[in-house]
Amino acid sequence: MVASSASLLSGVCNIVTTKLDDNNFPTWQFQMQSLLRGHGLLRFVDGTLPCPSQHVLGEDGRLSPSDEYEAWMEQDSNLISLLIATLSSEALAHVVGCASAFEVWTTLKERYATVSRSNVVQLKSNLQSIEKGSDSIEKYLLRVKTTRDQLATIGVKIADEDIMILILKGLPSEFSTVRFMIKAKTSPITMAELRSLLLAAESEIESESKSLTFGSITALVAKNNSSCSLNAPAHIQDSKGLLPTPHYYKNSFTRRLKTVV
């Protein structure tokens, strides 16, 4: 069933949340294709529903205007407006003068999906050198996926197994245990299973880090208290003989100040 492209115009900005620019063509294309396919409009932009003849030959041998042509032109014009509503000002400049939705779509695809060989090499290099750093596991995996999607858009496919190797390579030393466990598995795992394992490891590492931090603070406080107790004269220690009184600290600070002066 073909929906009216005019009916989509009012809500397109709420459906397609990305304005096309130099950095987000895969995301924009995915959202637009899903929207157009869902409403039976993708055929207008992929060329499988060409413009019908402007005139039809009647039984009397005369040419008359085609109703199909008029309906197609109206739909296509509305579709051009829909596409334009999702473009950044820079992307819009590339399609000024296009006469059909198919021409707009093809122009954008050629401009943003066709990448030179140097850019392919750069994307591959970025993927091979990617590291988790201070990012969370979720952000780290998203950065890997974004680069992989950019390569896929231009026809460069990378297998899941190769992506997993790059992901494990970019993990810091804290993840050495889970890295070893994953590599030691005799059967392959899915990307979803890898994500679950890394998230579980991240949670465990954060819990251990918090425990160590709390333990270090507790030990430091205990050490300071013990040091203060040993350095204070016996006659000004508290009733239990452990800590010096506040009066002792005040007098001690005053004596040191006078010495400096």
Distance of CA 95 to the CA centre of its chain: 28
pLDDT at 6: 57
Compute the Cα dihedral for 43, 49, 54, 57 and give only its sign.
negative
Domain ranges of the chain: 5-112, 117-207
Asked if pLDDT for residue 53 goes beyond 60, the answer is yes
> What φ, ψ does residue 202 adopt, rounded to 5°?
-60, -45
- Provide the sign of the torsion angle of the four alpha carbons 86, 90, 94, 95, taken in this order: positive
pLDDT digits (tens, 9 = 90+) for 15-48: 777 889 887 888 888 889 999 999 899 999 999 9
Interatomic CA distance for residues 138 and 198, integer angstroms: 9
Place of tokens 């296509």: 76
pLDDT (tens digit per residue) in 148-172: 988 887 778 999 999 999 999 999 9
Q: In the prediction, which pLDDT does 247 show?
A: 47
Tell me how far apart the alpha carbons of residues 135 and 125 are, in angstroms, rounded to a whole number: 20
Whether 178 shows a pLDDT value over 50: the answer reads yes
What's the token pair of residue 53? 């003849």
Neighbours of 71 (CB within 10 A): 12
| Predicted pLDDT of residue 211 | 74
